[in-house]
Amino acid sequence: METKKKLKVSAINNGTVIDRIPAGQLFHVIEILGLAKGDFQMTFGTNLESKVLGLKSIIKISDKFFEEDDVNRIALVAPDAILNIIKNYQVVEKRPVVIPSEIFGLVRCLNPRCITNHEPVKTRFTTRMTPGGLVLKCHYCEKETGQKNLQIISNN
Amino acid sequence: MKSLISINDFNKEEMLQVLDLALEYEADTNRQLYTGKVIACIFFEPSTRTRLSFETAANRLGARVIGFSSLDATSVSKGESLKDTIKMVSNYSDMIVMRHPLDGAARYASEIAGCPVINAGDGTNQHPTQTLLDMYSIRKTQGSLDNLSITMVGDLKYGRTVHSLLQAMSHFKPRFRFVSCPELAIPKEYTDFLDARDIPYSQHNMLEGQIDDTDILYMTRIQQERFQDPMEYERVKNLMRLDVSMLTNTKPNLRILHPLPRVKEISTNVDDRPEAYYFEQARNGVYTRMGIITYLMNQM
């Protein structure tokens, strides 16, 4: 309960609150969204209690609204994340992230013989949900990588 | 403008169009359709059959051929990137035929080049022109591609021709039998592929007893470097070896295919049997590659 109070204190006027980020993925999300480079006000908390995730992280960014395609990129590391769009201190929209059908330049191909690991080629994957979880298929070498082995390579 | 990088780039109708063109070329091989065109055959790693059959196909169609088959005399040996090499070659030619040791190199090249690219093998990934010539050989010997029993033998894990042929034949209601040791078994993503399409298959550890109701026996080479234990290689090699004594109760239409080179997985005493088709199969490569060049030229 105390956590909730603290978060309320730092409530933002206008902007985006990204909730339900797995605790260990906070800095990946910051990196994927390129938040470290911006000049907007941002606060974040980590290792907060969560009924859904056990421990979670949360990021609040003032006066920043994301394009859907941009924010869906974090679905790879934070598939349960929710975006709360804040206007005038009120949540006007709650939007879950959706795994994009194609992912560009975000993940490294695990195949050491893939051309993307030898030439300066922007990686490209198609995504597919299987009973075993998310699978990424490389557009170039056609090899598949499971969610557990994903390696994030860069921010935008 | 269309390229051929993966067998999945062609749908069923496109594959059949290429095979029909190949049939026409087999009947009349010397056709000067592309005089004035230049086809670049750039081979970043060694090849005998694929390179020579492409060069023969291009020559029989009247095109001129440029290219290289060794990196020693090229700027690649000076450290030139693949991107720069492809940009330069596509300035000189109307079509590029390319082999490269890295997976995905051909797809990347097709995105850079200003002309169609034909993948003549990219690492362990794809070799779609081999698949089309395999299909041509199957249709020619069986009269049809439909409802065939296909037994694939050997290195089913790393063998790119096996994976591509499996995907291509999935359009024609096949039944598959896979014969390999557990270390070289068909990968799960391909059995998932067959499951999703309700295509029946079974898996076996030895070749003996798996041939009698087969229409197409597709043999592949088992490479010794895939095994850490040389004794295990010897054991597996013998279980996958085809000998003439195994061809006693087979169907009359059985034909044995092999993408070549063969090592010892087919005994030489099979070579003179009517079922042995691997050398004719290699000859079909010229007609099929003429068909592929024509199909892609027509898309420009």
CA distances from B234 to B11, B182, B223, B227, B243 (A): 40, 15, 11, 10, 16
The burial class, CB within 10 Å (0-12 / 13-18 / 19+), for A153 is middle
Measure CB to CB from residue B108 to each of A113, A119, A143 and give the nearest one: A119
Answer whether B97's CB lies under 8 Å from B42's CB: yes
Burial of B290 (0-12, 13-18, 19+ CB in 10 A): buried
Average confidence score pLDDT of chain B? 94
Print burial letters for A138-152: b (CB count within 10 Å at least 16), e (below 16): bbbbbbbbebeebeb
More confident residue, B197 or A99: B197
CB B135 within 8 A of CB B145: yes
Confidence at residue A72, expressed as pLDDT on a 0 to 100 scale: 84
Closest CA to B7 of B115, B122, B85: B122
Nearest to B104 among A114, A120, A144 (CB): A114
Mean pLDDT along residues A96-115: 92
What DSSP character marks residue A107? B
- pLDDT of residue B278 exceeding 90, the answer is yes
Dist CA A93 CA A90 (whole Å): 9
Which amino acid, one-letter code, is at B57? A
Helix axes B49-60, B128-142, angle to 10 degrees: 80
Domain boundaries A102-149, CATH class: mainly beta
**Residues A106-144 pLDDT 10s:** 899 999 999 999 999 999 999 988 888 889 999 999 998
What is the rounded (10 degree) CA torsion for B79, B81, B86, B92? -40
A139: contact with B, CB 8 A cutoff: yes
Question: What pLDDT score was predicted for residue A50?
Answer: 85
| Peptide bond connecting B261 to the previous residue in cis, omega within 30 degrees of 0 | yes
In CATH, the number for domain B7-126+285-298 is 3.40.50.1370
pLDDT beyond 70 at A2: no
Locate the DSSP E strands across chain B: 38-43, 64-68, 95-100, 117-122, 149-153, 175-179, 201-204, 216-219, 255-257
Tell me the shortest Cα–Cα distance from B299 to chain A, in angstroms: 23
Quick check: A140 and B107 CB within 8 A? yes
Considering only CB atoms, which chain B residues are within 8 Å of A114? 102-104
Fill in the amino acid letter for B76.
V
Q: Predicted confidence band at B71 (pLDDT cuts at 50, 70, 90)?
A: confident
Residue B257 one-letter amino acid:
L
Lowest mean pLDDT among A46-55, A121-130, B71-80: B71-80
Q: Is the pLDDT of residue B205 over 90?
A: yes
Report domain extents, chain B. 7-126+285-298, 129-281
Whether A29 contacts A21, CB under 8 Å: yes
State the smallest CA–CA distance between residue B86 and chain A in angstroms.
Answer: 13
Residue A9 pLDDT level (bands cut at 50, 70, 90): very low
Give the residue from chain A lying closest to B82, CA to CA.
Answer: A119
CATH number of this structure's domain B129-281: 3.40.50.1370
Identify the H or E element spanning A87: strand A82-87
Q: ipTM score of the complex? A: 0.89
- Under the banding of pLDDT at 50, 70 and 90, the label for residue A156 is very low
Which CATH code of 2.30.30.30, 3.30.479.30, 3.30.70.140, 1.20.1090.10 fits the domain covering A2-96?
A: 3.30.70.140
Q: What is the mean pLDDT of residues B189-207?
A: 95
pLDDT tens figures, B28-52: 998 899 999 999 999 999 888 899 9
**Lookup result for tokens 């409802």:** B147
Tokens 């995730």 sit on residue: A53
> From residue A147, how far is each of A19, A55, B125 by CA, in Å?
21, 20, 22
- The model carries a pTM of 0.88
Is the pLDDT assigned to residue A4 strictly greater than 60?
A: no
Q: Where are the domains of chain A?
A: 2-96, 102-149
Grouping H, G, I as helix, E, B as strand and the rest as coil, residue A19 is: strand
- Going by pLDDT thresholds of 50, 70 and 90, the confidence category of residue B256 is very high
Give dist(CA B96, CA B109) in Å, integer: 9
Residue B275: pLDDT band by 50, 70, 90 thresholds?
Answer: very high
Q: Which pLDDT value is given to residue A7?
A: 53
What does the alpha-carbon distance between residue B280 and residue B284 come to, in Å, rounded to a whole number?
Answer: 6
More confident residue, B1 or A1: B1
Q: Coil, strand or helix: which one is B111?
A: helix
Q: Can you tell me the mean pLDDT for B93-105?
A: 96
Helix or strand or coil: residue B52?
A: helix
